[in-house]
Amino acid sequence: MSVEISRHWRLNPQRYRLVGEECPRCGGKIFPPRDVCPYCADNEPQPSFKFSGRGEVFSYTTVHNAPEGYEDQAPYTVALVKLEEGPLVTAQLTDVSSGEVEIGMPVEMVTRKIRVQGDEGLIIYGYKFRPQLQAA
Amino acid sequence: MRDVSIIGIGQTPIGEHWDKSLRQLAYQALAAAMRDAGIERTDALYVGNMLSGEISGQSHLGALVADFAGLHGVEAVKVEAACASASAAFRQAYIGVASGLQDIAIAVGVEKMTDDVGSRVTTGLAGAADADYEVIHGISFVALNALLMRRYMYEYNLTREAFAGFAINAHSNAVHNPNAMFRKPISKEAFMRAPVVADPITLLDASPMADGAAAVVLCPTEQAREFTNNAVRVAGSAVATDTLSLHDRRDPLWLRAAELSAKKAYKQAGVGPQDIDFFELHDAFTVMSALSLEACGFAERGKGTWLAQDGEISLTGRIPITTRGGLKARGHPVGATGLYQIVEAVQQLRGEAGENQVANARFGMTQNIGGSGATIITHIFERIE
Ligand SMILES: [Zn+2]
């Protein structure tokens, strides 16, 4: 299959299940995975770590002028989500209108269609975040 | 290392140059800079550009521009660092001359934004961010800056109004710049009711993107007098990087690469923020002005917008910024912007800034930011007494 597909296939553990890493030296939780720990610069192989998918909105905005391939979704809300294990991730918010979003709002990860790509209609799935259904 | 000076400058007006190609724009600025320096040849040519591959389907700009300019056989290469590409090209020219490998080097920045439709330009610009973990989520470059601005307003308890002074100052300074895109002043009322682009960013927080090219000629300071009596020396030059993704920064509201590159440039120049007479900063969005002023030591953390509210950034203020209109009103041809900043700094230090002249300017600083802050390039220039 095309190079474009392997580029996305390779990222399935991250996109579908928020699989990152845990540094064996400093214990830091890492997402997305990297070859060198961002906290302590350790470069030993790092075991996988699955994030809970829970976090809160750190910042957000609404995209009106979408990049190519996202025009049909606009307007949509994108956010920086602070995961409860520490890292920030960039993702779209879903199942919520932009007027309801605020900084600090508890959210949880869901898997949704991210975009359709190319003439072959390749569908890319991945994480988005929605308001936590039973906020603690 | 040899001391290096700028002996020639050139620029094109910024706007929608439907009738000019990328190579013509680059040549126009390059030829103007060579005429200004009184030279007919160069040892090297560094072309700063971000989007020619994506927008015009054209790579290999070093050879293209050298060829079109009739500089047959010359060493030439393209330098890319997103919106900081032109300053990165300048830095390579500086290194070339400082090292002694080249006696004359030219840096030209060029961007041709109007060769493709908006959504593809938006996609190209997003290429400054992380393709796998930012861009895939449909984030645009404006949206990344909107995430920064909203968080900034939240942490420091500000409304949009706090940022108005940056846009008003830039537009006011562009009125007398013949190369600027928007030469009309704006009011605070206009700023407050501007249409939203990506909340809280409106049209008047964001810089307009357009076509343009700017160029400078460099030579060793000890040879500068053979060419000109108004050479401007490069007192400090530094590049620093940060994480590519905004989300990977432990402290997203601190431009670490701005702090690092400014500190290195201050050290090389033997000056501090209190010695800088004007600052051409990277006001792609109003929030970037605040973050840059804080990281470079002109304002305390969270207080960058205070300078804009108190008039300290005006031409007669404590630290004048965007003295010819900045990215906001002069315009932001992304991969050329850094060289517009440098050309404008040279104009100020030569005393050629006309109505916008900063009185008795001796040290001028420029800062060019790539992406959401991943590459930041700071230069300090000094008038030669
Ligand atoms: Zn570690």
Does residue A3 have a pLDDT over 60?
A: no
Alpha helices in chain B (DSSP H): 22-37, 61-68, 85-99, 118-126, 141-156, 164-174, 188-192, 221-224, 256-269, 286-295, 304-309, 337-350
Q: What is the tens place of the pLDDT at every residue in A94-122?
A: 999 888 999 999 999 999 999 988 777 88
ipTM, 2 decimals? 0.95
Percent with pLDDT over 70 in chain B: 100
Q: Is B376 exposed, middle or buried (0-12, 13-18, 19+ CB in 10 A)?
A: buried
Looking at the structure of chain A, the number of domains it has is 1
Nearest residue in chain A measured CA to CA from B134: A90
The string of pLDDT tens digits covering residues B74-94 is 999 999 999 999 999 999 999
Contacts of B138 in chain A (CB under 8 A): 63, 66-67, 70, 73, 76, 78, 92, 114-115
A84 lies in some domain: yes
What's the confidence (pLDDT) of residue B34? 98
In the prediction, which pLDDT does A68 show? 85
Residue A32 belongs to some domain of the structure: no
For residue A6, what pLDDT is reported?
Answer: 82
Q: Any idea what the CATH number is for the domain that residue A81 is in?
A: 2.40.50
CB contact under 8 A, A65 and B197: yes
Strand (E) or helix (H) holding A13:
helix A12-17
By the 8 A CB rule, do B367 and B83 touch? no
Tell me whether residues B139 and A63 touch, CB distance under 8 A: yes
Q: Is residue B229 part of a domain?
A: no
Mean pLDDT rounded to a whole number for chain B: 97
Number of domains in chain B: 2
- CATH code where residue B14 lies: 3.40.47.10
B267 and B220 share one domain = no
- The pLDDT tens digits for B279-338 are 999 999 999 999 999 999 999 999 999 999 989 999 999 999 999 999 999 999 999 999
Chain B positions in Cβ-Cβ contact with residue A67 (cut-off 8 Å)? 119, 122-123, 126, 135, 138-140
Strand partners, A131: A107
Query: Is residue A112 a part of any domain in this protein?
Result: yes
Q: Is the pLDDT of residue B379 over 90?
A: yes
Same domain, B252 and B174: yes
Quick one: pLDDT at residue A134?
Answer: 66
CA B90 to centroid of ligand 1, rounded, Å:
37
Is residue A72 a part of any domain in this protein?
Answer: yes
- Residue whose tokens read 């103007």: B32
Range(s) of the domain holding residue A86: 53-131
Give me the mean pLDDT over the A47-66 stretch.
Answer: 96
A4 pLDDT higher than 70:
no
Is residue A136 scored above 60 in pLDDT?
A: no
Assess if residue B130 is contained within a domain.
no
CA of A22 to the centre of ligand 1 (A): 8
Q: What is the pLDDT of residue A117?
A: 83
Instruction: Report the pLDDT value the prediction gives residue A1, as an integer from 0 to 100.
Output: 47
Contact list, B153 vs chain A (CB under 8 Å): none
**Mutual angle of helices B286-295 and B141-156, in 10-degree steps:** 60
- From residue B125, give the alpha-carbon distance in Å to each of B111, B122, B211, B343: 12, 5, 14, 24
- Is B47:B116 a contact under the CB 8 Å cutoff? no
Together in a domain, B94 and B57: yes
Question: Which structural domain, as residue segments, surrounds residue B32?
Answer: 4-117+210-224
B153 falls within a domain: yes
Q: Are residues B192 and B310 in the same domain?
A: yes
| Mean per-residue pLDDT, B57-81 | 97
